[in-house]
Amino acid sequence: MKYCSECAAPVTTRIPAGDHRPRYVCPACGTIHYQNPKVVAGCIPEWGDEILLCKRAIEPRIGFWTLPAGFMENEETADEAASRETLEETGAQTADLELFSLYSIPHISQVYLIYRARLVERNFGPTPESEQVRLFAQQDIPWDRIAFPVVRLTLEKYFEHRAAGRFQLTVGTIDRRS
Ligand SMILES: [Zn+2]
């Protein structure tokens, strides 16, 4: 950050009184600009034994497969964000969302919330963000073409739990080496 979003004066970096880490602080209006992690919400859309994946049409990881997910907007709930992102990236309507995974990714300051969700109908297709959208049975998942470690781990856990006959919330941390 270079300029204050409140008054447009150049900001400085310092540790405010009572704080313990450097923040962007505006010397003109006194605003402290805290920067905090972003929440990414998404779905594992289910249709029978198959799940819906999208092939990314945009960077990063263009051409790789992922679950529909994206940054939460202000003033929406996490499950609204997950459904909205699924609709935007796949054209699919989802229902009955159940939280399945919560992954912290501290080195990029993100938190992922992925829900299991029922596809309302078998209706989806390519979108500006996804060059291809299709259902995959477990044996057809393109494991060597998955876009992000958090998606690969979520899918691994999903199929583990499904094989065990019971889905439970899975919580973890993704580090640089994942
Ligand atoms: Zn200011």
| Unique residue bearing structure tokens 């640089």 | 176
Distance between CA atoms of residues 50 and 103, nearest Å: 23
Calculate how far, in angstroms, residue 109's C-alpha sits from the geometric centre of ligand 1: 25
The Cα–Cα gap between 26 and 5 comes to 9
CA of 16 to the centre of ligand 1 (A): 15
Euclidean distance between CA atoms 30 and 32, whole angstroms = 6
- Ligand 1 centroid to residue 18 C-alpha, Å: 20
Q: How many angstroms is it from 73 CA to the middle of ligand 1?
A: 24
Cα(36) to centroid(ligand 1), Å: 19
pTM: 0.92
Mean pLDDT of 134-163: 98
What are the boundaries of each domain within the chain? 1-35, 38-173
Q: What is the pLDDT of residue 178?
A: 78
CB atoms inside a 10 Å sphere around CB 143 = 10
Q: Per residue in 123-141, pLDDT tens?
A: 999 999 999 999 999 999 9
**Looking at the predicted structure, is the pLDDT value of residue 177 above 90?**
no
**What is the tens place of the pLDDT at every residue in 74-92?**
999 999 999 999 999 999 9
Between the CA of 25 and the centroid of ligand 1 the distance, in Å, is 8
CB 157 within 8 A of CB 130: no
pLDDT above 70 coverage of the chain, percent: 100
CATH of domain 38-173: 3.90.79.10
CA of 140 to the centre of ligand 1 (A): 53
Yes or no: domain 1-35 corresponds to CATH 2.20.70.10: yes
